[in-house]
Amino acid sequence: MKQIAFIGLGHMGAPMAANLLKAGYLLRVFDLVQSAVDGLVPLGASAARSAHDAVDGVDVVITMLPASQHVEGLYLGEQGLLQHIAPGTLVLECSTIAPASARKVHHAAAERRIPMLDAPVSGGVGGAVAGTLTFMVGGDAQVLEKARPIFAAMGRNIFHAGLDGAGQVAKVCNNQLLAILMIGTAESLALGVANGLDPLVLSEIMRRSSGGNWALEVYNPWPGVMENAPASRGYEGGFLSALMAKDLGLAQEAAQLTGNATPLGSLATSLYRLLLKQGFGDKDFSVVQKLFDQGL
Using CB under 8 A as the binding rule, the residues of this chain from 106 to 125 that contact a copy of itself are 122
Question: Measured from the CB of residue 227, what is the shortest distance to a copy of itself in angstroms?
Answer: 19
Q: Is 256 in the site for a copy of itself (CB under 8 A)?
A: yes
Near a copy of itself by CB under 8 A: residue from 113, 194, 224, 228? 194
Q: Residues 219 to 248: which contact a copy of itself by CB under 8 A? A: 219, 245
Cβ-Cβ contacts under 8 Å for 257 (sequence gap 6 or more): 99, 100
Q: Residues 138 to 177: which contact a copy of itself by CB under 8 A? A: 157, 159-163, 165-166, 169-170, 172-177
Judged by CB under 8 A, the stretch of 2-10, 62-70, 107-115, 252-260 that binds a copy of itself is: 252-260
Near a copy of itself by CB under 8 A: residue from 76, 117, 240, 268? 268
Question: Measured from the CB of residue 34, what is the shortest distance to a copy of itself in angstroms?
Answer: 30
Four-CA torsion 268, 273, 274, 277, nearest 10 degrees? 160
Backbone region of residue 116 per phi and psi (left: phi > 0; alpha: psi in -120 to 50; beta: other values)? beta
Q: Which of 2, 146, 171, 277 is catalytic?
A: 171
Q: How far apart are CA 256 and CA 252, in angstroms?
A: 6
CB neighbourhood size of 183 (10 A): 23
Q: Residues 73 to 102: which contact a copy of itself by CB under 8 A? A: 99
Q: How far apart are CA 69 and CA 107, in angstroms?
A: 16
Question: Measured from the CB of residue 120, what is the shortest distance to a copy of itself in angstroms?
Answer: 11
Judged by CB under 8 A, the stretch of 112-120, 143-151, 207-215, 227-235 that binds a copy of itself is: 207-215
Q: Is 69 in the site for a copy of itself (CB under 8 A)?
A: no
- Cβ distance 31 to 13 under 8 Å? yes
CB neighbourhood size of 173 (10 A): 17
Q: Is 23 in the site for a copy of itself (CB under 8 A)?
A: no
CB neighbourhood size of 53 (10 A): 13
Q: Is 197 in the site for a copy of itself (CB under 8 A)?
A: yes
Q: Give the pairing type, strands 133-138 and 155-162.
A: parallel
Q: Is 19 in the site for a copy of itself (CB under 8 A)?
A: no
Q: How far apart are CA 103 and CA 139, in angstroms?
A: 10
Residues recognised as catalytic = 171
